[in-house]
Structure 1
Amino acid sequence: MSIVDILPVAYESSTACKRLNAADILSSALVSTPEVIIAPGVRHIYHLGPLPSPNLYNIPSPTPPNPTQEEPAIQSTINALHLCAHPEGGYFCETDRDPRRVPNPYKEPATSATAEDTDPETRSACTSIYYLLTPQRPQGAFHRNKSRTVHVWQRGRGRYVIIHADEVDGSVENAKARVETFVVGPNVEAGERMQWVVEGGKYKSSFLLPDEPEGETSSGLLISEVVVPGFEFADHDFLRKERMEELLTAEQVQELGWMLRTEK
């Protein structure tokens, strides 16, 4: 497995469990196993290697997430950190929301409904969460946030795929977005990352990898995220297939379509 010219970027999740309702919660399932991402306009081919398959992780068919289906050690982590299912996939818990408010820097219309207790004129200065991918919920679907997100690895391994939609020149007909991928984990000598940043406006997806590069099992990928200004669902949206087809080549859409959020 080789990855060339990887730049520091990453993801943007977060929000308080209390703001989620049953209609928001989805289970995640992998539907294919793409192997290559080609970044248009860039000479390099990012080889992902075999992606985790349903057989490898024994992923169930889509059903409401049930943490008690997880392995005991993972269930213990979920309980200890008070995690709940995230609509992107995986589990999370908001651990801090700065009480200081800053002016809302986003002039565009909200990308999704604003929570009732959110002042649209301001944002929290920053928010923090735990985020966990597990064998039962191994994928975070493509999404973007308007705010910058700093990620810190804590345990496990996973792969991130970033679509740099914010870099596309709208004045160029059929302009395509740059695609980037990298592994997060403890093996920094092999290029795995323990810290990474995703700027606002970029679409990101992630999925679980085995704990060992040649292994077949995972105890979960646990990270922390800090969003600045603080996360609000009003500043968040999921990537739709129509938008993916605008941003990527047909080959890339075929390879990455399985990372889109599954609609019920």
Structure 2
Amino acid sequence: MATSDDTCKEDNLLFPLPPPSVIAAPQTLPDASLEPPSIQSIISSLNLTAFVEGGYMAETDRNTLEIPSPFPPYPAVTFSDPNPVPENYTFDPETYYRPSFDPSRRSASTTIYYLLTGPGKNGENGGGSPKGYLHRNRGRIIHTLHRGRGRYVILHADEKPCRVESFLVGKDVEKGEKVQWIVEGGKYKGTFVLPVGDGEDGKEDAMIFISETTVPGWEVFDHDFLDRKGLEMLMEGDDEKIKQLEWLVKEE
């Protein structure tokens, strides 16, 4: 099976698959104490915490300007949910929303640091959080790369048939790698870490270290993970496509 980073046409692949250690990485919250010292230094310096999407994050800015929400007044649900509009929904601020959250308002923007790390020392599954699971947000997100290299996979759930897009993020812009990219609301995205290029001479730890700015501001209220049933629906039962993507689906 093809594993080249710069082609996705061999063996009818949607995109080149990463090493088995990335695919098989356990779906648990990462443990910073198991990361290499250089990664631990980044996590400690920026006060990053383990994140349910995979990797580590810290919110660095929440715009004090609030705007009327352009989104529905009920929580986002995953693609496979047969009732995306909850009947008789009543907002309960005591569930899992941040204090003082009002579903009729949104911060104009929010910004976070987000860090994915290599699959663990010597490719083992001890430490490391090398993949971000397929999820979507209602708001558009602007991504900016700081360090590392990886691949993003976008499922255009708002198009029919669902278009699958993938691209590399990295510092080699002459070869088409991206240092800035935008994912519009309503589209599922997943990502995984790749080894740094030869130009880095192997000294930099494998990672994807970025900033994300969400407009309007990010709320868990507007976020959902893609489940296996939703993947099957989006891929219209195409077993080959499902097989290539299922490891990026977060287990329930």
Give the Cα separation in 2 of the matches to 1:106 and 1:237: 14
Cα contact 1:35–1:255 (8 A) shared by 2: no
- Listed one character per residue, the Cα deviations across residues 195-230 of structure 1 (whole Å, up to 9, x for unaligned) are 000000000000000012698884321000100000
CA RMSD between the two structures: 2.4
Instruction: Tell me the secondary structure at the aligned position of residue 243 of structure 1.
Output: helix
Give the gaps of 5 or more residues in structure 2: 78-95, 119-127
1:128 is aligned to 2:111: yes
SS, match of residue 223 in structure 1: strand
CA spacing shift, 1:231–1:35, aligned 2, 3 Å: farther
Task: Tell me how far apart the structure 2 counterparts of residues 58 and 237 of structure 1 sit (CA, whole Å).
Answer: 21
**1:150 positional shift:** 0.3
- Number of aligned pairs? 215
Match of 1:81 in 2: 46
Q: Is the 8 A contact 1:209 1:218 kept in 2?
A: no
Show the 5 A alignment for 1:81-160: 81-107=46-72, 109-111=74-76, 114-135=97-118, 136-160=128-152
Residues 61, 162 of structure 1: alpha-carbon distance in 2 compared, 3 angstrom cutoff: closer
What secondary structure sits across from 1:152 in the alignment?
strand
Q: Distance in 1 between matches of 2:110 and 2:32?
A: 24
Mapping of residues 148-227 of structure 1, within 5 Å: 148-168=140-160, 176-212=161-197, 218-227=205-214
The amino acid of 1:252's aligned partner reads K
> What SS is found at the alignment partner of 1:144?
strand
TM-score by length of structure 1 reads 0.75
The 2-side partners of 1:130 and 1:124 are apart by 17
Paired residue for 2:221, among 210, 220, 234?
Answer: 234
Shift of 1:76: 0.2
Q: In structure 2, do the counterparts of structure 1 residues 262 and 247 end up closer, same or farther at CA, with 3 Å as the change threshold? A: same
User: How has the CA–CA distance of structure 1 residues 138 and 244 changed in structure 2, closer, same or farther, with 3 Å as cutoff?
Assistant: same
TM-score normalised by structure 2 residue count: 0.78
Instruction: Quote how far apart the aligned CAs of 1:183 are.
Output: 0.5
2-structure distance, mates of 1:92, 1:155: 15
Q: Does 1:253 align with 2:239?
A: no
Decide whether aligned partners of structure 1 residues 62 and 126 sit closer, same or farther in structure 2, where only a CA change above 3 A counts: closer
* CA deviation after TM superposition for structure 1 residue 3, in Å: 5.0
Could you tell me which runs of 5 or more consecutive residues in structure 1 were left unpaired when the two chains were aligned.
5-33, 38-46, 169-175
CA contact (8 A) 2:74 2:103 kept: no
From 4, 13, 18, the counterpart of 1:36: 13
Where 1:166 maps in the other structure, the secondary structure is: coil
